[in-house]
Structure 1
Amino acid sequence: MTELFTAAVIRDKGGPFRIEQVRRRAIADDEVLVRVVATGMCHTDMVARDQIFPVPHPIVLGHEGSGIVDEVGKNVHELEKGDHVVLSFLNCNVCDPCHEGHPAYCANFNAWNFSGQRIDGSHVLEADDGTLLNDRFFGQSSFAQYAIANARNAIKVRKDAPLELLGPLGCGIQTGAGTVMNALKVAPGSSFAAWGGGAVGLSGVMAAAAIGATTIVAIDIVPSRLELAMELGATHTINSKEENAAERVKEITGGGAHSAMDSTGIAALVSAMVSSLRPSGTAAVVGASKPGTMAEIDLVDVMQSCKRLIGVVEGDSVPTTLIPVLVDLHMSGRFPFDRLVKFYDLDRINEAAEDSEKGITLKPIVRMPQ
């Protein structure tokens, strides 16, 4: 076993994160050891902490890590020590969706990302007392000073980019931007509506603006988020507490949006989003709802107007392709996702979680001790 290092461990349903000393086991031949610089905090971390999705505890969470490769397995040839990487989700690389170029829709996604162990049942982390910890969350468990990832989910990025900022590109930012760019294929000159003005929704706004959509509508109930949306590329905003959002989208877009994305997971908003589409429009659901959540959809409207409602995971992205593109867009000033973030040191991780859940911070990023 290696020397001790610091990690945030969830031992009880609902938290808190406990700062502990842990050890790691040796990396496998297809893995890399990454010295984590910083890790974004995502709603999915909270879902796992609260066991809304039944991941095993105790566990080290964190799935938006960025850092520097410290060691590579003997079968890893595309990465080397010293490379800067963003850690993303892990896929099996053998199922039909993976072979068809949709790794985010991997048929074995849960086993590779939520089981708390390697696919062979082995673990990476131990507590200081020698007991095993569940790990491999999204193939990384990056709320720690070190993370072991597969070479497939460690995405090499340019070294002149601000590494501590880049972690959220691995999940939340990728989800919003990728949904716009890959799943919805928002076109220049088209209209797009973002239902929800959190980090995912605003990433969609920025991506639509970068692509050249000319009518971009942001819907939320928090005035500060709507103000920020305008600064990030939205052409119109709607406070859904004060207006009928679906009707306003139709008015703004002249009959309905070409495409739309819901990042809230709220059933009533999904229903409104579908109704606000123009004929042949497409709406994407990316927000996490509680299992069993049902939305009412007017099937006659969907059929007669040839509308589409799709579910999207991780922006239907190929991370090795999309993440470097988003980095380049950011470095050129066309994707300013740094406007969404606030940094917290690891010993303030519970504060970061609380601020995220209260909506105080759109995208917390937790810095690791160096």
Structure 2
Amino acid sequence: GRLDGGPALRRLDGRPVSSHFFGQSSFATYALTTAAALVRVPDGLPLALMGPLACGISTGAGAVFNTVRPVPGTQIAVFGAGTVGLAAIMAARNSPATRIIAVDRNESRLRIAAELGATNTVNAAADDPVKAIHDLCGGPADYSLECTGVISVVRQAADSVGMLGTCLLIGGAPAGAEFSLDHLTTLWGKRIVGVLGGSGRSDELMTTIMSLYAQGRFPFDRLVQYFDLADVQTALEQSYAGEVIKPVLRMP
């Protein structure tokens, strides 16, 4: 709701409509917000392209920049090569991490992951991702990023890191979803960390990503395909089918 707790919109019968998801009101022609929630887009950058920074691009990138903070030699496994996972891969490419492994079931997304910075790719439809990651790293990875929200994948991400390793939960699972872990290997210092919104201030994080994009170091435009608002159903269908990574709707 609004800052006073009330709804901005109601149905014809008076029932309230939830209309401030993450404070974005993305489908509105205008949005009412606080100054603290605004991030200015520098002159010369395409405004329509910056939309995904509000949720998705900054989520994956911030998880790496603010939570992982790779040091030289860090080995990272990213589960899910969608918008969030690919943003994490691009962020890791701008760090001292030496091994960046992309895990997905879609070969076309694994190909773009390799082009955007993944040093290795694993097709989870053909190979056991935990074993593949251990083989590539010569043991468990230092960090795993679970970007799918699929509960069975959460366990794989947790199992792919070892003693003193960290598994980041980023993908949004359905409400009420639960997962289990092996107690003994988790007891040996393994950390399971939840990450929301990139774990940082939006103005600092988004401004950094925009600067990296302008420098050619964070080409997230390669993930975006534009659709007119009237074609929203096509955008949804192609997104669900994995044909488009990040659809962006443009208002008339």
Q: Once the two structures are aligned, what percentage of the paired residues are identical?
A: 39
For the structure 1 residues 246 and 132, does the alpha-carbon distance in structure 2 shift closer, same or farther, using more than 3 Å as the test? closer
Separation in structure 1 between the aligned mates of residue 174 and residue 76 of structure 2, nearest angstrom: 26
* 1:348 CA displacement: 1.1
Superposition pairs for residues 338-357 of structure 1, below 5 Å? 338-357=221-240
Give CA deviations for 1:170-194 in whole Å, capped at 9, x if unaligned. 1111110001111222223311110
Aligned to 1:79: none
Aligned to 1:329: 212
Separation in structure 2 between the aligned mates of residue 366 and residue 346 of structure 1, nearest angstrom: 5
With 141-150 and 242-251 compared, the bigger mean Cα shift is at 141-150
Separation in structure 1 between the aligned mates of residue 19 and residue 94 of structure 2, nearest angstrom: 36
Give CA deviations for 1:97-152 in whole Å, capped at 9, x if unaligned. xxxxxxxxxxxxxxxxxxxx203144445899x99754223223121222222112
For the structure 1 residues 298 and 156, does the alpha-carbon distance in structure 2 shift closer, same or farther, using more than 3 Å as the test? same
Aligned to 1:213: 97
Separation in structure 2 between the aligned mates of residue 185 and residue 163 of structure 1, nearest angstrom: 29
Aligned to 1:18: none
Aligned to 2:194: 311
Aligned to 1:191: 75
Q: Is the contact between residue 144 and residue 166 of structure 2 (CA under 8 Å) also seen in structure 1?
A: yes
Aligned CA-pair RMSD: 2.0
Give 1:354's aligned amino acid: E
Q: Is the contact between residue 174 and residue 317 of structure 1 (CA under 8 Å) also seen in structure 2?
A: no
When normalised by structure 1's length, the TM-score is 0.64
* 1:272 CA displacement: 1.4
Give CA deviations for 1:183-223 in whole Å, capped at 9, x if unaligned. 22222331111001111011111100011311000000100
Q: Is the contact between residue 80 and residue 146 of structure 2 (CA under 8 Å) also seen in structure 1?
A: yes
Give CA deviations for 1:259-304 in whole Å, capped at 9, x if unaligned. 1100111222111111111321111011111123222211101112
* 1:252 CA displacement: 0.6
Q: Secondary structure at the match of 2:31?
A: strand
Give 1:281's aligned amino acid: G
Aligned to 2:34: 150
Q: Secondary structure at the match of 1:356?
A: helix
Give 1:349's aligned amino acid: V
Superposition pairs for residues 122-201 of structure 1, below 5 Å? 122-124=6-8, 134-201=18-85
Q: Is the contact between residue 7 and residue 17 of structure 2 (CA under 8 Å) also seen in structure 1?
A: yes
Separation in structure 2 between the aligned mates of residue 132 and residue 256 of structure 1, nearest angstrom: 49
Give CA deviations for 1:326-364 in whole Å, capped at 9, x if unaligned. 000111111111111110111111221222222221111
Separation in structure 1 between the aligned mates of residue 244 and residue 99 of structure 2, nearest angstrom: 27
Q: Which runs of 5+ in 1 are unaligned?
A: 1-116
Give 2:203's aligned amino acid: T
Aligned to 2:172: 288
Which of the numbers 117, 133, 137 marks the counterpart of 1:253? 137
Separation in structure 2 between the aligned mates of residue 335 and residue 315 of structure 1, nearest angstrom: 16
Q: Is the contact between residue 124 and residue 148 of structure 1 (CA under 8 Å) also seen in structure 2?
A: no
Q: Secondary structure at the match of 2:60?
A: helix
Q: Which runs of 5+ in 2 are unaligned?
A: none
Separation in structure 2 between the aligned mates of residue 292 and residue 281 of structure 1, nearest angstrom: 26
Separation in structure 2 between the aligned mates of residue 204 and residue 134 of structure 1, nearest angstrom: 30
When normalised by structure 2's length, the TM-score is 0.93
Matched, 1:241 2:120: no
Matched, 1:262 2:143: no
Give 1:321's aligned amino acid: E
For the structure 1 residues 131 and 292, does the alpha-carbon distance in structure 2 shift closer, same or farther, using more than 3 Å as the test? closer
* Larger proportion of strand: 1
Separation in structure 1 between the aligned mates of residue 239 and residue 227 of structure 2, nearest angstrom: 12
For the structure 1 residues 188 and 171, does the alpha-carbon distance in structure 2 shift closer, same or farther, using more than 3 Å as the test? farther
* Paired residues, number: 251
Q: Is the contact between residue 162 and residue 185 of structure 2 (CA under 8 Å) also seen in structure 1?
A: no
Separation in structure 2 between the aligned mates of residue 133 and residue 276 of structure 1, nearest angstrom: 42
Give 1:290's aligned amino acid: P
Give 2:142's aligned amino acid: H
Matched, 1:272 2:156: yes
Q: Is the contact between residue 126 and residue 133 of structure 1 (CA under 8 Å) also seen in structure 2?
A: yes
Separation in structure 2 between the aligned mates of residue 156 and residue 241 of structure 1, nearest angstrom: 41
Separation in structure 2 between the aligned mates of residue 273 and residue 126 of structure 1, nearest angstrom: 42
Separation in structure 1 between the aligned mates of residue 202 and residue 169 of structure 2, nearest angstrom: 20
Separation in structure 2 between the aligned mates of residue 187 and residue 281 of structure 1, nearest angstrom: 14
* Larger proportion of helix: 2
Aligned to 1:109: none
